[in-house]
Amino acid sequence: MKRGLIMRRAIWRCLGVIAWAVSGVLCPSCAGPADVSPAVPGSAFTASDEVYRMPPGIETRWASVENPQAAKGQGGQAKGGRKGNPHFPIAPGETRILAEEKSGTGTIRRMWATTSDRTPLMLRGIRLDFYWDGADKPAASVPLGDFFCMGLGRAYAFENEYFSSPEGRSFNCNIPMPFKKGMRITVTNTTKVPLSLFFYDIDYTVGDPHGPDTLYFHAYFNRENPTTLRKDYEFLPKISGRGRFLGVNVGVKADTGKYFNAWWGEGEAKFYIDGDTEFPTLCGTGTEDYIGTGWFLGQYAHRFQGCPYADKDRFQFCFYRFHVKDPVYFRKDLRVTMQQIGCWTPDSKPKMVASGNKYMLAGAEQTPVDWTQGDGKNDYGLFEREDDWSSCCYFYLDRSENDLPPLKTLDERVKGLY
């Protein structure tokens, strides 16, 4: 009997240990304090970013129209504090400061804006510039709409991990953007049309303890209209340094005049990392595959991947992908591209044949399509194509400036857009 009692006690102890371990999985708070070590050494961000912890030495600031320096006790003063100055106009060619810290560390946490004019011209013609640590060259010089994950000069409702527009009339971004020696964010009207109303606020913290491993936020806009046959479109031209590719949003206007309703998205995403030359280290399987779906592309908006704008009649699409759970790191250099490869189908093939246009099979041989033999006789076939592609990619780099090309001219950004 005594031996049986000892065995029962031992079993109960084991069950207790198992229950405690399971409770730690199902209810982390039951298992004791969570790991709050920094996700990035020396940064203010923790692995869980718990909302109930008070970090030492960090203060909150909001930059706005009448208080772009976010000075303490200086907000909302116009008209005796009765909403006297919530917006400003931006004349053609005018630049205004949205937020500025002359020195010190901090982190941009959130940006919000809305405008009275959200036409394609304004979404591509209003430019945002981000400067870190007193740099002369901006780390990001991007069109308003494309920066806020709205491609092709379109405004639409959506939400993902870093951007949102609840009803398609505003712009929200919560990508963390650290700085160590101050920052400046400006807005410029590069069009010849006055913008009557620009509302915004930029929310950030100061005093964040950023260490040597903290990277700087960068963004790059590109457009090719049309792309070049058999030359992969570049989301990001080659850059040098250490960093992380965060993601990209893309706008595609397929050439229905030449390719009719043939599918345009067979191209593979490619990441040339740390010395890659002819072939990349990372390679996808298709355009819609890269953003988590398959077999053509419809409208959806998920946390890390989505296509919030899908006009299947005109073959125009806006889509995005963020590498949050699947980080893309580089330590020497990085280049990111997407092929332009299409696929004819039983529906589109007769139109392509009847058009008399010349097409080229996908492949290194640069073989013209012969509809009477070989691959040309098949109902489905891959072929090279040229379309209107634009994009804004986001990445972190170990320095506050980059050597990327300047923002394209207004005409290059908007020609053929509307």
Q: What is the CA radius of gyration of the chain?
A: 26
Residue pLDDT, tens place only, 34-72: 333 334 434 445 544 678 989 999 999 999 999 999 899
Could you identify the residue written with the tokens 């400036």?
Answer: 401
Domain of residue 337, residue span:
215-407
- The amino acid present at 107, given as its one-letter code, is T
Does any domain span residue 170?
yes
Q: Choose one of 176, 194, 214: the last residue of a domain.
A: 214
Does a cis peptide bond (omega within 30 degrees of 0) precede residue 346? no
Q: Are residues 283 and 174 part of one domain?
A: no
Using the structure block, give the residue that is written with the tokens 């009477």.
Answer: 372
Domain C-terminal end among 160, 185, 214? 214
> DSSP string covering 329-398, please?
EESSEEEEEE--EEEE-TTTHHHHHHH----EESSTT-PBP-TTSGGGGSSSEEEE---EEEEEEEEEES
Q: Give residue 195's pLDDT.
A: 98
The tens digit of pLDDT for each residue in 265-314 reads 999 999 999 999 999 999 999 999 999 999 999 999 999 999 999 999 99
pLDDT tens per residue across span 159-202? 999 999 999 999 999 999 999 999 999 999 999 999 999 999 99
Percent of the chain residues topping a pLDDT of 90: 83
Q: What is the pLDDT of residue 164?
A: 98
255 and 392 share a domain? yes
Q: Whose CA is closest to 305, among 161, 197, 407?
A: 161
Place of tokens 């709409």: 145
Mean predicted lDDT score pLDDT of the chain: 91
Please give the Cα distance from 105 to 101 (Å, whole number). 9
Instruction: Return the structure tokens found at 393.
Output: 């990619």
pLDDT on residue 49: 62
* Cα dihedral 239→321→323→169 (10° resolution): 100
Q: CB–CB of 157/167 below 8 Å?
A: yes
Together in a domain, 277 and 338: yes
Tell how far CA 265 is from the center of its chain: 19
Specify if 117 maps to a domain: yes
Query: In what order do the strands lie in the sheet containing 381-384?
Result: 341-344, 381-384, 360-361
Q: Which two tokens stand for residue 155?
A: 């405004």
- In a domain? residue 135: yes
Instruction: Say how many domains are in the chain.
Output: 2
CATH of the domain at 288: 2.60.120.1390
Query: Does an H or E element contain 318, and which?
Result: strand 316-322
